[in-house]
A and B are shown apart, each in its own frame.
Chain A
Amino acid sequence: MDHLDQLEAQSIYIFREAFARLKKIALLWSLGKDSNVMIWLARKAFFGKMPFPALHVDTGKKFPEMYRFRDYYGKEWDLDLRVEPCPPIDAVDPTLPPAARSAARKTEGLKMALGKYGFDGLIAGIRRDEEATRAKERVFSPRGLEGNWDVRDQPPEFWDHFNASPPQGAHLRIHPILHWTEADIWAYTKRENIPIIPLYLSKDGKRYRSLGDQDITNPVASTASTIDEILIELEQTKVPERSGRALDHETEDAFERLRVAGYL
């Protein structure tokens, strides 16, 4: 088994545990490279069929290429796609800096979707290498009744034994690709021939490394116009993956505050 085989087998194990141990789960599909890999892995885990819905919490501010991708592959992959809207900006905590506040709409949209469907598990495509607070995550991460994350009181998790009993009304976040890196995602996307949104590839000397909303995501300088070139670029770069995400840079703790409140 090579490195990618190991990552894949581990993710499949996590998917199957989530499906077996929780009653009602959904996969959060943000349309980005990570969640596309995640859907691919889910289809591997369940032999071609993803037996739970793909939930797109839609801010309405994604790039047109992303909506086209969603509408096409939602059908092509035979997904049970649920698109759920987010509340307007003035419904969100006004003490947050602008970009974080904009991102927090997604947290609220997520809470509304949770209430609407009663999911007890949400599968999310976060990775440890993305950002320091994500590095501290568990694979099965319990959330409070308000969707909040208690960093200081996380249950022990070892030997692939996960805690899967959320309290009544609360839910778990399940992270099947927590152990992957950005480079792993690209190498696997290439190996498996998983479709991607073209915004990731360089155009006029710029490309997106991470895709969020139009108003809070910026492209980075890059000449990488193929996945192979992206992989070479990643080996050399010292620029963090989320450098194009405005909300990470507003205040030191903005992202942590968001995550504690239930953001991905």
Chain B
Amino acid sequence: MNMIVSPASPATPNGTTRPQVSIVIVGHVDHGKSTLVGRLLHETGSLPDGKLDMLKAVSARRGMPFEWSFLLDALQTERDQGITIDTTQIRFRTNSRDIVLIDAPGHAEFLRNMITGASQADGAVLIIDALEGVRDQTRRHGYLLHLLGVKQVAVVVNKMDRVDFSADRFKAISDEISAHLSGLGVKPTALIPISARDGDGVADLTDRIGWYKGPTVVQALDSLEPARPLEALALRLPVQAIYKFDDRRIVAGRIESGSLQAGDEIVIMPAGKIARIKTVESWPVTQVSGRQGAGRSVGITLDRELFIERGDIVAHANSVPRETRRLRARIFWLHDKPLAKGDQLLVRCGPKESRATVVAIEKAVDPGELENRENKAIGRNHVGEIDISLSNPIATDPYTENPRTGRLVIEVSGRIAGGGLVLSVDAGQRAVPVDIVPVESALRSDERSARYQHNGAVVWFTGLPASGKSTLAKVLERRLFTNGGSPILLDGDTLRAGLNSDLGFSAADRSENIRRLAEVATHLARNGHIAIVAAVSPAREDRATARRIADTAFREIHVATPAEICEERDPKGHYRKARAGALASFTGIGNDYEAPQAAELVIDTSTRTVAEAADEIEQMLKATGVLFDEAVDLAANI
């Protein structure tokens, strides 16, 4: 990073670290931004040797009185000539702080620049001309600070020399701007009368503002709180990729906040899978030891094989980000075509991307014409608040809790079209479908029934692990097929390997697992197949959901084999592992299986053979109209 003026060193002479605070100076054009910056640099001793003399000479040559704003103009020229490239940040020091002044110039592209620059500001100085008072631009900038979540705002009333240092004038302006800002939820940290040109109130309280008892601008800056260091926040490691170049399976990404080290127990969101960090890998030295903090690009290996994908977030178990399909964001819009309700977008939250739909536009504002609020569309360079529904669940944090994970960008046709801050997250809420028109099958259900000799159905086997669900399901599948039917087995574990691989074993994930099984099964049933589902599905509520989805096609079979016998069988060794404490969230041990109260059929596999059980199932299916007795009748319909 190139410095224009004295590069700030992070350490004081005695070796302690000075807090660093980023600020942005905003205000109406000609209210004295550059003059204040020039004066601040001078008063804090931040100008390079000779700079002041050079400026005096420039003023003399032009036959003009000396102006502090020439300082920034001179820097501007340097920038234009490409000598100093990265001048978005000017540094100076107060007694206890290193201040990084973020330069947000350029009127035409103001919003884009201000957002990119000032989105990282910890605080702001809002400048108002004492003579002109609060202007549109003043209010607009106040709004933008609110938009960006900048809460610490020092207000300076400049050019007090032009109003004879009138305390009344100062009070009137102070009251007006305070009211405006507090309406936006921003409380000024200080209200200071100054004359930037003469220096009153900047570093010293002069006699001319003898009636004012508050802090100077420098003191106000000195008391700004730096943003909480990212390392002090909860761990967030968005996964960029999984690498397997050798026998290691490395989860790679940048630590956006918090820190981690080998041995930490972690949760992978949104799936909620739990693992432990085995190693932190690096090159040329492998396995770095010690804690790795925010900002580092790292690679970790885990103590177990989990399905993890790009965009997942690694967090510590005690503070995980929220999983959601719905969120509200405050955004700025840069695309030519206005953003409207119902628009389809691509939303990126770190490396995670999801298709999304704008469910509602709560507020749309042209920051230039704040009065004209509307809620149909957000135009180019305008700002607003929107509700978005996402087609994939994502893990995120509100911006106020984590500025790194709480922001997003919006892509349209492969190009970034806007961005913003996550205001709130509706945890667990389902996406609302917008304008979805299901496509109907080309076939009528009776055409299928005639061929298969049965109606479509969802045959749902529920019961304890090892109660015999899969065995019965497979025998039923074979029988139906032999008779010319179209059975399809949907085994819970099999679907977890693919369709449901993003789900873990939390209560919410188990519910979602069942919901998806039910949706897939119902789709098959509507198309004339018999979907045979074998899933423990321990929660009564979840099975009720499945029944609701499949409606009249649903047939529930409770495989009610006694628990002792299930455990004795234990074909997959799950009971053994669970008893040894090595299998968390295992249904069967403990009392978390909620038996059905009104199943279509109850079968105890300890008291009858598989063939007998299969006969009973067939009879039930015939009795409830799924299987046909008489083939001939329907064949006539073809």
Residues of A within 8 A of B (CB): 1, 5-6, 8-10, 12-13, 16-17, 19-20, 43-49, 51, 128-129, 131-132, 135, 155-159, 161, 163-165, 179, 181
7 pairs, CB–CB < 8 Å, chain A vs chain B: A12-B297, A13-B254, A129-B86, A156-B112, A159-B119, A161-B348, A163-B416
For B286, the chain A residues whose CB sits under 8 A away are 47
Whether A44 lies near B282 (C-beta < 8 A) is: yes
Q: How far is the CA of A229 from the CA of B296 in the complex (A)?
A: 30
Whether A16 lies near B240 (C-beta < 8 A) is: yes
Whether A47 lies near B281 (C-beta < 8 A) is: yes
For B236, the chain A residues whose CB sits under 8 A away are none
Looking at the assembled complex, report how far the CB atom of B254 sits from the nearest CB atom of chain A, in whole angstroms: 5
Residues of B within 8 A of A (CB): 1-2, 82, 85-86, 112, 115-116, 119, 240-241, 243, 245-246, 248, 250, 252-254, 281-284, 286, 293, 295-297, 299, 310, 334, 348, 351, 407, 409, 411, 413-417, 419
Q: How far is the CA of A6 from the CA of B351 in the complex (A)?
A: 19
Q: How far is the CA of A16 from the CA of B286 in the complex (A)?
A: 19
Whether A47 lies near B295 (C-beta < 8 A) is: no
Q: How far is the CA of A156 from the CA of B119 in the complex (A)?
A: 15
Looking at the assembled complex, report how far the CB atom of A177 sits from the nearest CB atom of chain B, in whole angstroms: 14
For A158, the chain B residues whose CB sits under 8 A away are 115-116, 119, 409, 416, 419
Looking at the assembled complex, report how far the CB atom of A196 sits from the nearest CB atom of chain B, in whole angstroms: 17
**Residue ID in chain B nearest A47 by CB atoms:** B283
Whether A1 lies near B85 (C-beta < 8 A) is: no
**Residue ID in chain B nearest A142 by CB atoms:** B415
Partner of A155, one of B115, B246, B250, B416: B416
Q: How far is the CA of A155 from the CA of B417 in the complex (A)?
A: 8
Partner of B419, one of A131, A159, A179: A159
Whether A1 lies near B295 (C-beta < 8 A) is: yes
Knowing A156-B112, A163-B415, say if A49 contacts B245 (CB, 8 Å).
Answer: yes
Q: How far is the CA of A32 from the CA of B332 in the complex (A)?
A: 41
For B82, the chain A residues whose CB sits under 8 A away are 131-132, 135
For B417, the chain A residues whose CB sits under 8 A away are 156
Whether B416 lies near A9 (C-beta < 8 A) is: no
Q: How far is the CA of A46 from the CA of B281 in the complex (A)?
A: 10
Partner of A43, one of B243, B283, B351: B283
Partner of B243, one of A47, A128, A164: A47
Whether B241 lies near A16 (C-beta < 8 A) is: yes
Looking at the assembled complex, report how far the CB atom of A12 sits from the nearest CB atom of chain B, in whole angstroms: 4
Knowing A20-B310, A43-B283, A159-B409, say if A5 contacts B296 (CB, 8 Å).
Answer: yes
For A159, the chain B residues whose CB sits under 8 A away are 119, 407, 409, 419
Residue with the greatest number of chain B CB neighbours at <10 A, chosen from A12, A128, A159, A164? A159
Q: How far is the CA of A49 from the CA of B244 in the complex (A)?
A: 10
Looking at the assembled complex, report how far the CB atom of A98 sits from the nearest CB atom of chain B, in whole angstroms: 25
Closest 3 CB pairs of A and B: A165-B414, A132-B82, A12-B297
Q: How far is the CA of A8 from the CA of B116 in the complex (A)?
A: 22
Looking at the assembled complex, report how far the CB atom of B373 sits from the nearest CB atom of chain A, in whole angstroms: 25
Knowing A128-B85, A128-B86, A155-B415, say if A51 contacts B245 (CB, 8 Å).
Answer: yes
For A17, the chain B residues whose CB sits under 8 A away are 240, 351
Q: How far is the CA of A43 from the CA of B413 in the complex (A)?
A: 32
Whether A47 lies near B351 (C-beta < 8 A) is: no
Residue with the greatest number of chain A CB neighbours at <10 A, chosen from B250, B252, B299, B413? B252
For A16, the chain B residues whose CB sits under 8 A away are 240-241, 252-253, 297
Q: How far is the CA of A107 from the CA of B536 in the complex (A)?
A: 63
Q: How far is the CA of A179 from the CA of B88 in the complex (A)?
A: 13
Looking at the assembled complex, report how far the CB atom of B275 sits from the nearest CB atom of chain A, in whole angstroms: 19
For B119, the chain A residues whose CB sits under 8 A away are 158-159
For B243, the chain A residues whose CB sits under 8 A away are 46-47
**Residue ID in chain A nearest B250 by CB atoms:** A47
Knowing A6-B295, A13-B297, A181-B2, say if A20 contacts B419 (CB, 8 Å).
Answer: no
Whether B281 lies near A20 (C-beta < 8 A) is: no
Q: How far is the CA of A161 from the CA of B115 in the complex (A)?
A: 14
For A128, the chain B residues whose CB sits under 8 A away are 85-86
